[in-house]
Amino acid sequence: MIIGYRNMKRIKHQTTVLACCILAVIFFFPIFWMVLTSFKTELQAIQFPPVLFFEPTLENFSIINENSDYTKHALNSIITSLGATALAIIIAVPSAYSMAFFPGRYTKDILLWMLSTKMLPAVAVLMPIYLLAQWSNLLDTRIVLIFILAMMNLPIIMWLLFAYFKEIPKEILEASRMDGASTMEEIRYVVLPLAWGGIASAALLSIVLCWNEAFWTILLTAADAGTLTALVASYSMPEGLFWAKLSAASTLACAPIVVFGWFAQKQLVQGLTFGAVK
């Protein structure tokens, strides 16, 4: 009887592991295929049936390296993503703290209103934003991108932080307050350490969203501030065969953020402490 129970548990365990593996392969396969294609020649890339084994070539990467300034685009992506995220987090943490622990009569409405600022489709405000950027002489600068991306992500960061802060037991804060901590001290020494995982995940999300934003980063930039999305746009639909080159450009454009995401998520899922505190 006991053996049967153990067996069942083992089978259940093995099925779960197998299911996880299959799902992981399915979800990751497109990325794998893209990276694989980036090492093919253009003719191999369109071969049918598709080829799995071939002599890899670095030609696509060297073409991109020759024709485009990858470093400049990558640097712009890094600066705008980090800058916008930093700006948004710095603004959001105190507000979300205050709303989560000292909600007022309108807090919920304010949060919903914040999210509603994201409902205006970017295409509809292209002209207003373009004209504002032009009047303030900020077209094709990283400053304007940082500001826009920060404002775009601020509502989402507010929501996530609010939700995470809500999970922190109020008693802990009350205890610290009884010890005579000021509001700023409370944020710094109590809330921040407890909500580290929440803030990190909000920041991670914001960085990813900034990195992948492809409307403003293309339409407001020219030669100076173009990010990696602009690099991809320059390989997206040319004349002639382009799948392998596009795959290489995409691999280059996505690699930094994917690798960053890998490290970050490990930190994130392991480093979560809040909520578990009793």
Partner 1 sequence: MKINIHKILQAPSIILLLLWMIVPLGMTLYFSFQRYHLLYPERSGFAGLSNYDFFLTDPALGVSVLNTLTLVGGVIVISVILGLGISLLLQEAFRGRGIIRILLISPFFIMPTVNALMWKNMFMNPAYGLFAYISEIFGLPVVNWLAELPLLSIIIMLSWQWTPFALLIFMTSLQSMDQEQIEAAEIEGAGFWAKFRYLTLPHLGRAIGVVVMIQAIFHLGVFAEIYVTTGGGPGHDSTNTTWLIFKQALLAFDVGVASAGGVFAIIVANIIAFFLIKTVAKGMGK
Partner 2 sequence: MRKSIKILASSAIIAVASSTAVQAGELTIATVNNGHMIKMQGLTHHFEAANPGVTVNWVTLDEGTLRSRVTTDIATKGGQFDVMTIGMYEAPMWGAKGWLNKLEFDASYDTEDLLPAIRDGLSSGGNLYAAPFYGESSMIMYRKDLLDAAGMSMPDNPTWGHIQDAAAAMTDRANGVSGICLRGKPGWGDNMAFLTTMANSFGGKWFDEDWKPALDSPAWNHAVSFYVDLLTKYGPPGSEGNSFGEILPLTQTGKCGMWIDATIAASFISDPAESEVADVIAYAQSPVAVTSRGANWLWAWSLAVPAGTEQAEDAKAFVQWATSKDYIALVGKELGWGSVPTGTRASTYEIAEFKAAANFAEAELKAINSADPSFSSQDRTPYQGVQFAAIPEFQEIGAEVGQQMSAALAGTITVEQALYNSQAYAVRAMKRAGY
Choose among partner 2, partner 1, none what residue 225 binds, the Cβ cut-off being 5 to 8 Å by kind. partner 2
CB 271 within 8 A of CB 200: yes
CA distances from residue 19 to 23, 167, 231 in whole angstroms, order as listed: 6, 31, 37
Q: Closest distance between partner 1 and the C-beta of residue 224, in Å?
A: 21
Token pair recorded at residue 76: 């712009």
CA distance 250 to 38: 9
Choose among partner 1, partner 2, none what residue 8 binds, the Cβ cut-off being 5 to 8 Å by kind. none
- Please give the distance of CA 178 from its chain centroid, rounded to a whole number: 38
CA distance 161 to 181: 22
Choose among partner 2, partner 1, none what residue 55 binds, the Cβ cut-off being 5 to 8 Å by kind. none
Nearer to partner 2, 47 or 116 (CB): 47
Nearer to partner 1, 109 or 224 (CB): 109
Q: What is the DSSP letter of 149?
A: H
Nearer to partner 2, 111 or 232 (CB): 232
Interface with partner 2 (CB under 8 A): 42-43, 46, 66-68, 78-80, 82-83, 85-87, 89-90, 126-127, 130-131, 134, 139-143, 146, 192-193, 196, 199-200, 203, 218-219, 221-226, 230, 233-242
CA distance 190 to 170: 11
Nearer to partner 2, 131 or 175 (CB): 131
Nearer to partner 2, 21 or 131 (CB): 131
CA distance 180 to 203: 30
Q: Which residue type, as a one-letter code, is found at position 10?
A: R
Give DSSP secondary structure letters for 4-22. HHHHHHHHHHHHHHHHHHH
Choose among partner 2, partner 1, none what residue 3 binds, the Cβ cut-off being 5 to 8 Å by kind. none
Q: What is the DSSP letter of 95?
A: H
Token pair recorded at residue 202: 């909000």
10 Å Cβ neighbour count for 252? 22
Choose among partner 1, partner 2, none what residue 266 binds, the Cβ cut-off being 5 to 8 Å by kind. partner 1
Choose among partner 1, partner 2, none what residue 173 binds, the Cβ cut-off being 5 to 8 Å by kind. none
Q: Closest distance between partner 2 and the C-beta of residue 122, in Å?
A: 12
Nearer to partner 2, 103 or 275 (CB): 275
Q: Closest distance between partner 2 and the C-beta of residue 160, in Å?
A: 16
Q: Closest distance between partner 2 and the C-beta of residue 195, in Å?
A: 9
Match 């804060």 to its residue by tokens. 173
